[in-house]
Amino acid sequence: MMWSVILCHDNWLQLWHPEVAVLMILLWTLYDAVNRVRRIAIARDRQIAFASALVLVYASMGTPLKLLGDDFLFTAHMVQYVLLSMVVAPLLIWGIPPQAWRTLWELPVVKPVLSLLTYPPIALLLFNTVFSGLLYPRILDLSLRDNWLYLVAPYGMLVSAVAMWWPLMSPISESPRLSRGSRLIYLFFNVDLMMPASVYIIDTGHADYLIYRLAPRVFHLSALADQQLGGIVMSVGMFIAYTVTFLITYAGYDESHWYE
């Protein structure tokens, strides 16, 4: 069975990527050390959020899921991207203490860049353009073959996702989150902008991604079925994330929130 072949892959490093695990451990050590040195009291929920984000980054980029997504299944690739963009990104925003964000925001060189990237219309378009662009067949095939793009693509998408979530979750007054009414509109636009790629991937009658068309079949999925399932995973994952955020926002909504 192909699944057992994958798990018994002769390149252990390609299966479990210890370098990613080491990087996540170093990031947690740095997170803890900086907060101790600066005597920042971090709420337990923020620590859990940051630790969860690191674990999910490793799950996405350092486990057999990555091998599946790179070489065999478009669906696995979509699971990676949904985890990074819809779960890891908001967890990072919440997990990093406001004092750390504020320090970063006050750096003269960094502030203009962050202000531009997190300006709501730009953040909205940036994320959806990057995410949809990485699904374009030629770009996706290239991103899994070219060493430079292979490294940049997932983390670039994660950065754009953090920018997209920032207007909804900003923890600092220097860059305040949108009013509740504006957040609802922002979420509607996000749903609208994800639809074209989702509909195309799911409704197409042919498999578009060469790398997956040529890959050995896994779980008896044809290349077309895999592509359509991946589109469903992407659509459902993003819809759940946006719906949960919408409901949390709407729960405290009244007309005055348009003017916060």
**The pLDDT of residue 253:** 61
Q: Which of 245, 255, 110, 254 is nearest to 174 (CA)?
A: 110
Write the DSSP assignment of 89-135 as a string of letters.
HHHHHHHS-HHHHHHHHT-TTHHHHHHHHTSHHHHHHHHHHHHHHTT
Please state, for a pLDDT cut of 70, what percent of the chain lies above it: 92
Residue 170 has pLDDT above 80, yes or no: yes
pLDDT of residue 160: 98
pLDDT in tens, 72-116: 999 999 999 999 999 999 999 999 999 999 999 999 999 999 999
Return the ∠ at Cα 57 (arms to 52 and 61), rounded to 5°: 155
167, 183 contact by CB (below 8 A) = yes
Which has more pLDDT, 25 or 148?
25
Q: What is the Cα–Cα distance from 26 to 3, expressed in whole angstroms? A: 31
Which phi and psi (to 5°) does residue 196 adopt? -55, -50
Residue 110: predicted pLDDT: 92
pLDDT for res 1: 47
Site of tokens 């693509």: 153
Give 8's pLDDT tier (boundaries 50, 70, 90).
Answer: low
Instruction: Specify whether the CB–CB gap between 16 and 63 falls below 8 A.
Output: yes
